[in-house]
């Protein structure tokens, strides 16, 4: 049971208590409403919390103005609340302030309870709103970082990439496919998406000096994953083990040992250029099968160039 006591549960309980206590301390009526507003202000990220707070603030201004207008004509009856909801909900949808609908409706019911509107009452409703929003947002400023988790996911992605590239290298040498190929590709895709999820959470929890390096890292790995899936299909067209296959296999083996971002890629790019030149100087294929095989190998070589460029382009943006 204790495993469910995360920071969000604790903040929600604290928000409920503090807002209700402060409302009572300062003599603000409807402290329970302030408590509810504080609870629903606890969001998954700081950015979400601020965005929703702004929505609710504008929704309350619009909604309360509308309800005051309706009640002045129709009186303080339950039918007034029904008509208010009928008109206010479409306005919330139109102006994209749906998050403020429930809060505004609750505040509107206070007018029905009071059956009157005065400056003191309107100030009290303002205090209820500000108190609930403030307590929720202040508590939501605390967000545990996911940096350690992201670093571990990065390491896992690199290890899977190494394994896949190593398997591709071996496959070129022996014209066979690893029994773990499908498992590794699925694992790589799932791990990259998990890393993007945690990176996005951290990004949204940073209000100032935002850095999207982690997000771009996993975008780069996603791009490399797509390249590898294209390379994977190439093996369906390879059925001859040739000396050219062995040359490319050795090159891919080197790439697998230099997958990490902190390892240099320039030497591999230079070697790749040499390999392309070497291929262009090889004798022309004598049979159709050899020609098709050579074309497939050249496609593999082209895909490896894009694979390396993805890493180079990422590093250019974050070089010290």
Asked if pLDDT for residue 211 goes beyond 80, the answer is no
Instruction: Give, in order, the Cα–Cα distances in Å from 77 to each of 5, 116, 125.
Output: 43, 11, 19
249 and 296: one domain? Answer: yes
Count of domains observed in the chain: 2
Contact 262, 301 (CB under 8 A): no
**What pLDDT sits at residue 277?**
80
Asked if pLDDT for residue 181 goes beyond 80, the answer is yes
Q: Which of 139, 157, 184 is the last residue of a domain?
A: 139
As a residue count, the chain comes to 320
Choice among 3-17, 40-54, 95-109, 129-143 with the minimum mean pLDDT: 3-17
- The overall average pLDDT reported for the chain is 87
**What pLDDT sits at residue 290?**
63
190 and 132: one domain? Answer: no
Angle between helices 147-174 and 213-234 (to 10 degrees): 20
Q: Give dist(CA 48, CA 51) in Å, integer.
A: 5
Higher pLDDT, 46 or 178: 46
158 and 38: one domain? Answer: no
Higher pLDDT, 31 or 277: 31
Measure CA 177 to chain center.
Answer: 34
169 and 290: one domain? Answer: yes
195 and 154: one domain? Answer: yes
198 band by pLDDT with thresholds 50, 70 and 90: very high
Other Cβ atoms less than 10 A from the Cβ of 180: the count is 12
222 band by pLDDT with thresholds 50, 70 and 90: very high
Q: Give dist(CA 49, CA 100) in Å, integer.
A: 12
* Per-residue pLDDT tens digits for 231-252: 887 766 555 556 677 888 888 8
Q: Which of 80, 115, 139 is the last residue of a domain?
A: 139
278 band by pLDDT with thresholds 50, 70 and 90: confident
206 and 111: one domain? Answer: no
183 and 294: one domain? Answer: yes
132 and 177: one domain? Answer: no
312 and 195: one domain? Answer: yes
* Per-residue pLDDT tens digits for 12-54: 999 999 999 999 999 999 999 999 999 999 988 888 899 999 9
**What pLDDT sits at residue 288?**
60
**What pLDDT sits at residue 292?**
65
132 and 250: one domain? Answer: no
Q: Which of 139, 172, 205 is the last residue of a domain?
A: 139
251 and 124: one domain? Answer: no
Contact 261, 314 (CB under 8 A): yes
Over range 129-153, report the average pLDDT: 92
Choice among 135-139, 175-179, 181-185 with the minimum mean pLDDT: 175-179
Over range 294-319, report the average pLDDT: 84
Domain coverage including residue 71:
2-139
Higher pLDDT, 44 or 288: 44
272 and 255: one domain? Answer: yes
- The CATH number assigned to the domain holding 224 equals 1.20.120.940
Choice among 127-131, 193-197, 220-224, 312-316 with the minimum mean pLDDT: 312-316
Q: Give dist(CA 145, CA 282) in Å, integer.
A: 54
170 band by pLDDT with thresholds 50, 70 and 90: confident
Q: Give dist(CA 6, CA 275) in Å, integer.
A: 54
**What is the share, in percent, of the chain residues with pLDDT greater than 70?**
90
């Amino acid at each position: 049971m204790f495993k469910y006591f995360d920071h969000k549960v604790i903040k929600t309980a604290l928000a409920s208590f503090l807002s209700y206590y402060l409302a009572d301390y300062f003599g603000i009526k409807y402290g329970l409403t302030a408590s509810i507003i504080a609870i629903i202000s606890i969001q998954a990220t700081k950015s979400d919390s601020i965005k929703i707070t702004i929505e609710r603030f504008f929704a309350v201004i619009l909604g309360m103005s509308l309800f005051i207008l309706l009640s002045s004509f129709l009186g303080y009856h339950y039918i007034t609340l029904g008509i208010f909801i009928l008109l206010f909900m479409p306005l919330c949808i139109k102006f994209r302030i749906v998050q403020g609908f429930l809060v505004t409706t609750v505040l509107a019911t206070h007018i029905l309870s009071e059956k009157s509107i005065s400056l003191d009452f309107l100030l009290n409703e303002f205090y209820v709103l500000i108190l609930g929003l403030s307590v929720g947002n202040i508590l939501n400023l605390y967000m545990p970082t996911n940096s350690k988790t992201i670093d571990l996911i990065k390491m896992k992605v690199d290890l899977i990439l190494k394994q896949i590239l190593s398997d591709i290298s071996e496959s070129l040498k022996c014209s066979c496919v690893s029994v773990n190929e499908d498992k590794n590709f699925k694992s790589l895709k799932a791990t990259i998406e998990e890393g993007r999820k945690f990176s996005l959470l951290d990004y949204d929890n940073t209000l100032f000096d935002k850095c999207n390096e982690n997000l771009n890292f996993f975008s780069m790995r996603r791009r490399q994953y797509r390249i590898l899936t294209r390379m994977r299909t190439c093996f369906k067209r390879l059925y001859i083990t040739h000396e050219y296959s062995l040359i490319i296999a050795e090159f891919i083996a080197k790439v697998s040992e230099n997958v990490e971002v902190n390892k240099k890629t320039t030497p591999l790019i230079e070697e790749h250029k040499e390999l392309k030149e070497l291929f262009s100087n090889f004798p022309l294929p004598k049979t159709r099968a050899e020609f098709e095989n050579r074309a497939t190998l050249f496609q593999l070589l082209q895909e490896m160039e894009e694979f390396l460029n993805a890493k180079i382009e990422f590093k250019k943006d974050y070089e010290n």
